[in-house]
Chain A
Amino acid sequence: MKDSFIESLESRGLTRRAFLAFCGSIAAAIGIEGVTGIDVAEAIEENALIGTNGGRGEGKLAPVVWMELGSCTGCTESFAQADDPDPATLILEYIALNYSETLSAAAGYSLEESREQTIKAFPGKYVLVVEGAVMTRWNGDALRIAGEATCAPGESPLLDVCKNAAAVIAAGSCAVDGGFCAAEPNPGGACGIQKYMADNGVNTPVVNLPTCPCNPATLVAVIVQYLLLGTLPQLNEYNMPEVYYGETIHDNCQRRGHFENGEFVYEFGSEEEAKGYCLYAMGCKGPQTKANCGTIRWNRRVSWCVDAGAPCIGCASGDPRVTQRNWIDFNAPFLNRMKDIHIGSLRVQPTPVALTITGVLAAALIVHGIGMKAAGRTEGAGGPDWEPVREYDKKHGITHGSAAAATSEPAEKAAAEVSEGGEQ
């Protein structure tokens, strides 16, 4: 690595050691054989802009444009809010974060200009990171950036940026499936970026990185892999990288032992909670949610939801294709085992519905049984008479077999034999 690059890092409070350690963890996260921390470091250096950041490269491969849409800025915060410099943030800046309302020093016209220049200078090369939901309502007026209806259907500044990007990374659940903004009744017409692009005929590849907020380490790993190898990670059906979203939270959960032993928290503030038991009975969605939170952890590996004592609320489990399958509608109420099912405007848990039907059925069977007894069809009452001939046959004048003509009422004949022979 060139000294000027290291100096530039150090001048911003990041030691060479910390930088390399971070690159190592990114390499591990990428999980491709032969890709080491050194490769990652070099890739970052190569792409760090000459002059401004002391790097060798020209940011040639991929400047990053970061569009913030309907969001709480939590994903940016998760990235940038640190009391000492966060490697992830710095690296993103180094790689050339050309446009981000929150992180860029510039603001107003000069910032908007920078976005337009990036699109012009690197058509088909830059990476677009989307934070927040696409707000489509009122012809896109639900969200206006720099005086424009950013997310209008059909034609919009957002679609222009999407069309010319090499890849779109949906960072955080709102960008993936609409998240909180899209939860019912979804007044702003929010949806994820994949759905928005699909609806408007744009087919730039999408990488969905859900969780609320987006995990910075995962995001940087994807960007670095793209810089380094020019490839995107292997995606699953939801366009989420398989390495990060292939196994359930439950599979890698530190409380899993308690689950298997049947040791559960049934109430917050209880002794069981103090003992760190499994949160399944508190509605933990870990078994239904595929993400890497338990292994990659959060806030620079300090903790994560279940470690902090909260059940997983399934923030990575939305379906990017269908707006009303955003993760909120998909999992609420969070502290129940299952989501509510929707019957018209009614919201109920599956169990009361099922138990009601069971009760009605039991009552119906009892009533029917009483009827059967009253009609003398039960064993004690002697059993029912058999019909002498099938109704269908009678109507159509059909008889069966050679004996049919001879014994017209065989059942009655047999019955007569029975009473002669005596019941036994």
Chain B
Amino acid sequence: MAEIAHYKEMHPLAFRITHWVNLVAMILLILSGIEIHYPVLGGVMGLARGLHIFCGIVLVVNCIARIVLAFVIKSSPMGGTRETVTDFWNWLPQKYNRHQLGAWIKYYLFIKKDHPLSAKLGVPQKLSYLLIGILILFMGYTGFCLWDVTMNVPFFAGFTFAVGGLMKLRIIHYFMMYIFIWFTMIHGYLALIDGMALPRLMFFGKETGGLTYSLETWNIDGYDDLGAAEKIEIVNKEDEQAAATA
């Protein structure tokens, strides 16, 4: 059948930017982190550490900015509509998908055939994005516990003491990198498996027509082809005129 319409209101520009920052910083962090873990490439440790700590700080700041913006910027609570609400509402359990976690899990396990009616973020997606925010902040925190410049600040040293030392902390920090890798694998997979409309919107702000959604009936209420049919009509008319004049 068809996909829901993908409007810009679903992922406004500011959030597309924070997402780009997430993606680029995360790739650089993972590459430099692997180099710091074991210097596979000779000659670049200084660069890797500099880049790693820079990107780490960028990632944390970006994460905080994303959270603050959630209270400022509006986004649509669901694909297929241009109506918007302040973004943070879409991170809380929404009325549109409050009871849908089971449906989503069954859908992904192939027990349920139909695509669950949902909201902007599917329930598993919403949970994982909330979790990733927390993980980014925690990762930054453990990073600062390891960084020689900040490791003796009581706010960080206290945690190092609680987990039992820098070796444990490095293992935690290192292992958490894999948790990010696993998140990104699953996240990238889910983002791409439904087709290119969603990534086109998230990365490039390109809209795609599709089913529309009514916030009143909480359900699909029509189809928006983004004016494609009219365009075709215009083109056809032009063609007719061209044929007539010829």
Interface of A toward B, CB cutoff 8 Å: 237-238, 246-248, 250-251, 259-264, 280-281, 285, 287-290, 314, 317-319, 322, 325, 330-331, 337-339, 341, 350, 354, 357-358, 361-362, 365, 368-369, 371-372, 375, 377-379, 382-393, 400-404, 407, 410-411, 414-415, 417-418, 421-424
Smallest CB–CB gap between A286 and chain B, Å? 11
Smallest CB–CB gap between A363 and chain B, Å? 11
Q: A357-B182, A358-B178 are in contact. Are A262 and B46 (CB under 8 A)?
A: yes
Smallest CB–CB gap between B194 and chain A, Å? 7
Q: Tell whether B185 is near chain A: CB-to-CB under 8 Å.
A: yes
**Complex alpha-carbon distance, A179 and B41, angstroms:** 35
Residues of chain A lying within 8 A (CB to CB) of residue B2: 383, 415, 418, 423
Contact among B44, B115, B182 for A385, CB-based, below 8 A: B115
Q: What is the predominant secondary structure among interface residues of chain B facing chain A?
A: mixed
Contact among B1, B178, B209, B223 for A382, CB-based, below 8 A: B1
Contact among A247, A261, A331 for B167, CB-based, below 8 A: A331
Residues of chain B lying within 8 A (CB to CB) of residue A319: 164-165
Smallest CB–CB gap between A347 and chain B, Å? 14
Max chain A C-beta neighbours (<10 A), residue from B37, B48, B112, B221: B221
Q: A262-B42, A400-B218, A418-B223 are in contact. Are A379 and B1 (CB under 8 A)?
A: no
Residues of chain A lying within 8 A (CB to CB) of residue B157: 237
- 17 CB contacts below 8 A, A to B, read A262-B48, A264-B39, A317-B167, A319-B165, A350-B175, A357-B178, A358-B185, A375-B110, A378-B195, A383-B115, A385-B113, A389-B117, A390-B100, A390-B103, A400-B216, A401-B217, A407-B221
Q: Are B219 and A400 in contact (CB under 8 A)?
A: yes
Return the chain A residue nearest B175 by Cβ.
A350
**Complex alpha-carbon distance, A250 and B45, angstroms:** 14
**Complex alpha-carbon distance, A322 and B162, angstroms:** 11
**Complex alpha-carbon distance, A387 and B106, angstroms:** 13
Q: How many residues of B contact A (CB 8 A)?
A: 70
Q: Are B171 and A338 in contact (CB under 8 A)?
A: yes
Q: Are A410 and B219 in contact (CB under 8 A)?
A: yes
**Complex alpha-carbon distance, A318 and B100, angstroms:** 49
Q: Are B219 and A260 in contact (CB under 8 A)?
A: no
Smallest CB–CB gap between B159 and chain A, Å? 11
Q: Are B194 and A377 in contact (CB under 8 A)?
A: yes
Q: Are B116 and A361 in contact (CB under 8 A)?
A: no
Q: Are A387 and B217 in contact (CB under 8 A)?
A: no
Q: Tell whether B91 is near chain A: CB-to-CB under 8 Å.
A: no
Residues of chain B lying within 8 A (CB to CB) of residue A423: 2
Binary contact readout B198-229 vs A (1 if CB under 8 angstroms, 0 otherwise):
00000000000101101011111111010011
**Complex alpha-carbon distance, A404 and B168, angstroms:** 57
**Complex alpha-carbon distance, A285 and B165, angstroms:** 12
Q: Are A384 and B217 in contact (CB under 8 A)?
A: no
Max chain A C-beta neighbours (<10 A), residue from B157, B161, B167, B195: B167
Smallest CB–CB gap between A237 and chain B, Å? 4
**Complex alpha-carbon distance, A272 and B45, angstroms:** 16
Q: Are B103 and A322 in contact (CB under 8 A)?
A: no
**Complex alpha-carbon distance, A322 and B164, angstroms:** 9
Smallest CB–CB gap between B124 and chain A, Å? 13
**Complex alpha-carbon distance, A402 and B175, angstroms:** 52
Q: Which 4 A-B pairs have the closest CB atoms?
A: A379-B195, A392-B99, A387-B114, A401-B216
Q: A281-B39, A372-B193, A418-B1 are in contact. Are A317 and B165 (CB under 8 A)?
A: yes
Residues of chain A lying within 8 A (CB to CB) of residue B116: 387, 390
Q: A414-B211, A424-B209 are in contact. Are A371 and B110 (CB under 8 A)?
A: yes
Return the chain B residue nearest A314 by Cβ.
B167
Residues of chain B lying within 8 A (CB to CB) of residue A358: 178, 181-182, 185
Q: A338-B174, A383-B1, A385-B114 are in contact. Are A262 and B221 (CB under 8 A)?
A: no
Residues of chain A lying within 8 A (CB to CB) of residue B114: 384-388
Return the chain A residue nearest B3 by Cβ.
A383
**Complex alpha-carbon distance, A371 and B107, angstroms:** 12
Residues of chain A lying within 8 A (CB to CB) of residue B168: 330
Max chain B C-beta neighbours (<10 A), residue from A250, A339, A414: A414
**Complex alpha-carbon distance, A418 and B220, angstroms:** 12
Binary contact readout B127-169 vs A (1 if CB under 8 angstroms, 0 otherwise):
0000000000000000000001001100001100100111110
